[in-house]
Amino acid sequence: MKRTILVSGLFLLLASSSLQASPKEIRFRFELMGCKYDSLSAVLFYGPNPEGRDLEYRVKGSSTDGSDWTFSVPDSIYRMTSNLRLRDFMSAGFIRFVSAGHSGSLPFVTNESAGMHIKASFVRRDIVQSGAMTNDVFTVDNTAPEFTALATVPASFCAFTDPDNPQKSKEELLKEYLSTIKEYPQSRALVRKVYLSMAKFPDQESLQRVYNAFSKEAQATYYGEMIGKSLPLFKAFQLDVKLTNCKTRQQELVLSDFSKPNLLLFSASWCGPCHAAIPLMKQIYKDLGKDINMTYISLDEPDSRPQWYELLEKEQIPWRSMTVEGNLTVRQVRDNYSVTGIPNMTLILPDKSRKVIDLRNDEDKAWLYKMLGK
């Protein structure tokens, strides 16, 4: 369906205009000493799509000796990319780069506008998945220190929650984030993490301080520009939004009871990962239903709304469900709650602050249960 290929309006507008605007290509060179390949492809990660997953851009490399490889990537893709991996698709193999004890994909840094030149030495070949796949491990000889930033920064960076210490204050967390950025001020990986976490920031001042901590070059990258453009529009979400209750078909406030946390589950009939999360959400409702208010908010447009009602009936959803009708549009609801992709799980606390969590993540799930004393 057409819903599966839609990205958020702002991202689509900027991305599509960028893809059409610049024919310039950026070249990457990899000298892989100690191992030869018949074919290699670079997989560049950018995005995300509406379901929160990274998009991929693949490009085949060229080599005369099987060891010294070059890749040409459109500048429009390069601007939106924070890291890449090399793959040997012919043998289902990955190349892993190791530096300072960390391994994984290679991050882009902002002073590499002319491209990237990596020298690496072969260490070993790991056979995984019962011989179905290989991982060739290389040590990186000349990488920038930002490589370790991508490997060591926790997933909770700029999430304004600490799974190990739920009582840690906003200011304490902010100081930790600023310290990390000060260490890697040009890292695209960190700029992208901030952009994807903007909805989790408690206020405009915090977002501004984090943005200011990056180098001018980082601020000029694609994701840096997106943050900069969002800053003047960043504001607290509206509390008095009314949507249509799917059971009563009446308009009512999304948020009316602040005596306990409100868990807003943004979903849609066309969202596969949202459907896959239903068993988990049923378990959470069974465990926590008396301690939180759970509400589905469907982002279906009118043409797919019947499928949403069918889903509710088929799955026998026990918590409240609401749809966007009346004077509001799906776009306005997305913007109000800063929903860039689904499934989205936004927790509104009794003090009316918000935290975006992902209960499919064990750490976030454990944090919620711990916060509620379970």
Positive or negative torsion for Cα 100, 105, 110, 111: positive
**pLDDT in the model for residue 269:** 94
Q: Which CATH number fits domain 242-371: 3.30.413.10, 3.40.30.10, 3.40.50.170, 3.40.50.2300?
A: 3.40.30.10
Mean pLDDT across the stretch 340-357? 85
Q: What's the Cα-to-Cα distance from 282 to each of 217, 279, 321, rounded to whole Å?
A: 46, 5, 13
- Rounded Cα distance, 190 and 177, in Å: 10
H helix runs in 298-355, sequence order: 305-315, 330-337
* 106-124: average pLDDT: 70
The answer to whether residue 21 scores a pLDDT higher than 50 is no
pLDDT in tens, 163-214: 778 778 888 999 999 998 988 888 877 888 898 888 788 888 889 999 999 9
Split at pLDDT 50, 70, 90, the class of 108 is: low
In this prediction, residue 244 carries a pLDDT of 94
Q: Do 84 and 43 contact (CB within 8 A), yes or no?
A: yes
Domain spans, the chain? 2-151, 170-233, 242-371
Question: Residue 49 — very low, low, confident or very high, per pLDDT cuts 50/70/90?
Answer: low
17 pLDDT above the threshold of 60: no
Residue 213, beta-bridge partner list: none
Q: Is the pLDDT of residue 66 over 50?
A: yes
Confidence of residue 217 (pLDDT cuts 50, 70, 90): confident
The full DSSP string for 206-268 is HHHHHHHHS-HHHHTSHHHHHHHHHGGG--PPPS--EEEETTT--EEES----SS-EEEEEE-
**What pLDDT is stored for residue 99 in this prediction?**
64
Edge-to-edge strand ranges of the sheet holding 293-298: 251-253, 242-245, 320-323, 293-298, 262-267, 344-348, 354-357
Q: Is the pLDDT of residue 115 over 90?
A: no
Distance CA 158, CA 201 (A): 7
Q: Among residues of the chain, what percentage have pLDDT more than 90?
A: 33
Quick one: pLDDT band at residue 28, thresholds 50, 70, 90?
confident
Residue 304, pLDDT above cutoff 70:
yes
Does pLDDT of 344 surpass 80? yes
User: Out of 21-35, 46-60, 185-199, 204-218, which region has the weakest mean confidence (pLDDT)?
Assistant: 46-60
5 or 236: which leads in pLDDT: 236
pTM flag (> 0.85)? no
